[in-house]
Amino acid sequence: MIRFATLAAAAVMAIGAPAAAAAPSAAVQTAAAPGISPEAVRAWLISKGGTVDEVRREGGETWLTVRDGPLNWMVFFYSCEADVCGDIQYMANFSNPTINPALINDWNRDRRFLKAYFTPGEAGGNQIAVVQYDVLMHGGDVEQLTDHTALWLELVSEFGRTVGYFAAAQ
């Protein structure tokens, strides 16, 4: 279902790897403002096997749409200066008639990391559940998104099963 399986596997392997000791530096370096460009995130997601639309900018917002099998999700960029953004938010919408406020409240009570909210359907339409995951950037390396993206992919799939969008695993 989710095509980023190699990303998830790499993140699991990286968790067990010891951190390399940093050698002291003779020169003092000035750290760049933490953040990454939307174009770098897009290129990184594509390199991991994602189908990612062009960066969109409209009404002061910047985002990407990722097409991942039956699920489309988005990456929004915040705290941007000169096309370097200090934080991002992963977001997905799910819609079906079984979604209700109690289901969303139970999710938020019982789980961490992904926050969700309920939106009633319009004029006989299905209820909508929106799920989001926020990430603060630390430095300018896009690889810092590896663990966050793996966690997002795992939990957004679980959320999709919880709200009845995906069939439960047998």
* Boundaries of domain holding 144: 32-162
pLDDT tens for 78-100 read 999 988 999 999 999 999 888 99
Domain tally for the chain?
A: 1
3-state secondary structure (DSSP) of residue 92: strand
Task: Taking residues 30-58, report their average pLDDT.
Answer: 89
Q: Rounded to whole angstroms, what are the CA distances from 65 to 10, 106, 121? A: 23, 28, 23
DSSP for 140-158, please give it: S-GGGHHHHHHHHHHHHHH
Any domain includes 46: yes
Q: Is residue 36 assigned to a domain?
A: yes
CB atoms within 10 A of CB 84: 18
Model confidence pLDDT, tens digit, residues 124-161: 778 899 999 999 998 889 999 999 999 999 999 999 99
Tell me if 170 is assigned to some domain. Answer: no
Q: What is the pLDDT of residue 70?
A: 86
**pLDDT for 14 beyond 80:** no
pTM listed for this prediction:
0.78
Q: What mean pLDDT is predicted for residues 60-75?
A: 93
The larger pLDDT score, comparing residue 1 to residue 127, is at: 127
Q: Is the pLDDT of residue 20 over 80?
A: no
| Assigned domain for 110 exists | yes
In a domain, 15, yes or no: no
Residue 94's nearest CA partner among 143, 141, 135, 128 is: 128
Q: Confirm whether 124 is domain-assigned.
A: yes
Flag whether 11 is in a domain.
Answer: no
| 10 lies in some domain | no
Question: Can you give the CATH number for the domain in which 117 is found?
Answer: 3.30.1460
Contact 88, 78 (CB under 8 A): yes
CA-to-CA distance for 21 and 89, rounded, in angstroms?
31
Cβ-contact 34, 86 below 8 angstroms? yes
